[in-house]
A = this chain, B = another copy of it.
Amino acid sequence: MSSIDRRQREKNETQDKILAAARDLFLNHGFDAVSMRKIAEAIEYTPAALYVHFKDKVELMRELCRRDFAAMDAEILTLATIADPVRRMHEAGRIFIRFGTQHKNQYRLMFMTPHPRDILPTEEDLAEMRDPDQNGYAFMCKAVGDAVAQGRLRPEFGEIHATVQTLWAATHGVVALEITHSDDPWVPIRALAIRGELTLSMTLRGMIRATDPYHAELERIGASLADETARQPQGSSCPIGSMLSKAMNLIRPANKGDSK
């Protein structure tokens, strides 16, 4: 039985080789600009060989996404130790923004491209999606659920999915704006770190009740941001504030150089 095991292992190895080459090319040139032929050439294979391992180009990219977003989920799941559900939501938002802006091409495919409607989740998929110990979305649902149970949120945020999706939309907007407009000469886009922190603190302030103790934390962040933005020029350019980059961990310990 060891030979068929080895066969499988070898297959996985070339699969990984394909994925590595594809990731590198997609990251540097973008999904559309990279053809199957170029990926094949990079690993000295024939284009047709790729179709032995992946149904088509999209499926190949999707596998890259699955892996990177599993990594994001893993990172978000480490926040489970944070007792305060509101703070948990806050930190998860930070991770989401950072991850999205560091994996622009994968993010694009996952959240900025319509998914094929004909791939239905299996029962198993749904079970995993509902498990807050496995899935990022479920994790957020649990955080929101905890916050609701503790009476921390305003009444209109009592419906969990709507609330998670509102938080999601806000952070997604920050990432998407960065991806598509960060170097747009038509609009003076402000530093990601500032926009991210402004959005997150604003979002949470808008969600929690007026009496919530977390307002103290938001007030603190607001004060730093006020300092920071006051230093910004009213014109067009805008360097990244060092304090904020640190706050958002935008400079990370050289994670495989994965940022475009």
Contact = CB atoms under 8 A, between A and B. Distances in A.
Interface of A: 30, 111-115, 117, 120-121, 125, 129, 137, 154-163, 165-166, 168-174, 176-177, 179-181, 183-190, 194-195, 198-199, 201-207, 210, 222-223, 225-226, 229-230, 232, 234, 238
Q: Is the interface of A mostly helix, strand, loop or mixed?
A: helix
A98 to B, nearest CB: 15
Nearest to A117: B183
A185 to B, nearest CB: 5
B180 A112 contact: yes
Given A162-B190, A165-B177, A206-B205, A185 B229 contact: no
25 contacts: A111-B176, A111-B181, A114-B180, A115-B180, A115-B186, A117-B184, A121-B185, A137-B187, A155-B226, A155-B230, A156-B225, A158-B229, A159-B234, A160-B234, A161-B188, A161-B190, A161-B238, A162-B198, A162-B229, A168-B173, A168-B177, A169-B170, A169-B177, A173-B176, A203-B203
Contacts of A223: 155-156
B115 A226 contact: no
A111 B156 contact: no
Contact of A202 (B114, B117, B166, B174): B166
A69 to B, nearest CB: 12
A207 B199 CA distance: 10
Contacts of A156: 198, 201, 222-223, 225-226, 229
Given A111-B176, A206-B201, A230 B170 contact: no
Given A112-B112, A169-B177, 4 more contacts: A161-B188, A169-B199, A170-B199, A202-B206
Q: Which of A172, A223, A238 has the most CB of B within 10 A?
A: A172
A53 to B, nearest CB: 24
Nearest to A204: B206
A239 to B, nearest CB: 13
B161 A111 contact: no
A157 B228 CA distance: 11
